[in-house]
Structure 1
């Protein structure tokens, strides 16, 4: 069951990133629509990577090494969400260390967390540039 959930989550996450990168942005750089699109995409990424870490852990594949243990599903998911957020929004690991295949998943999360804002800013600059620069 965990693997089916994993496939669904990866599909939804890939769709969210594709939708963000192919969306047309409103004329204003700071608009509610643009902010909402980024917020929803990052929320999907955050929950998606947390689900990936949780499913792998529940299937017995160690992807993160935590200080202290977890006693319930929700505690594991909460820890995975925290770890996912650290990877998407910063560079630090803190008290959770990726291990095994978790290092590659963490690398992907970190890359997306840093590449998406740059892509969005570059797209906004490109769309607002005079026609001679395009």
Structure 2
């Protein structure tokens, strides 16, 4: 078992965590994108979209990287041999569906992929809450001023 895929997983996980942390604490810049104002606005919406996109792509890359280590996404209850591009597409699709819903059941993870899917689904539920908290805090700060 090679260490390179696991190092890549750690790096991608760090980027995901940094993005989520930055959004939750209200950083004015997320992964190089400058956010002007932290209230319900196009800037807040944009920061949420950027954060979701980073998390979806990040987890998709983790699933893809782990597919080379024998940790697969199973489609339709059976393990299918797909090309690397096909695996990347399945990984991104699975990541998006897991993040934005709780999945359709057409693709299921095995092994440690199940834990990763649970973590991603949890993040998918927590981010909207963070968005609402930011909105409320911003309005309270404006009211105090």
- For normalisation by structure 1, the TM-score amounts to 0.85
Correspondence for 2:54: 44
SS state of the match for residue 108, structure 2? Answer: strand
Correspondence for 2:44: 34
Of 12, 15, 34, 1:12 maps to: 15
Of 96, 108, 115, 1:85 maps to: 96
By how many angstroms is 1:99 displaced? Answer: 2.1
For structure 1, list consecutive stretches of 5 or more residues without a partner in the other structure. none
Structure 1 runs, 4 residues or longer, greater than 3 Å off: none
Correspondence for 1:53: 63
Correspondence for 1:128: 139
Q: What is the rounded CA distance, in whole Å, between the counterparts of 1:49 and 1:27 in structure 2?
A: 26
Q: What is the rounded CA distance, in whole Å, between the counterparts of 1:36 and 1:65 in structure 2?
A: 33
Correspondence for 2:75: 66
Q: What is the rounded CA distance, in whole Å, between the counterparts of 1:105 and 1:14 in structure 2?
A: 13
Q: What is the rounded CA distance, in whole Å, between the counterparts of 1:107 and 1:75 in structure 2?
A: 23
CA RMSD after TM alignment: 1.9
For structure 2, list consecutive stretches of 5 or more residues without a partner in the other structure. 28-35
Correspondence for 1:104: 115
- For normalisation by structure 2, the TM-score amounts to 0.79
Q: Is 96-105 or 42-51 further displaced after alignment?
A: 96-105
Correspondence for 1:94: 105
By how many angstroms is 1:121 displaced? Answer: 0.6
CA offsets 1:64-99 (integer angstroms, 9 cap, x no match): 211362421111011011001111101123310122
Matched residue count: 129
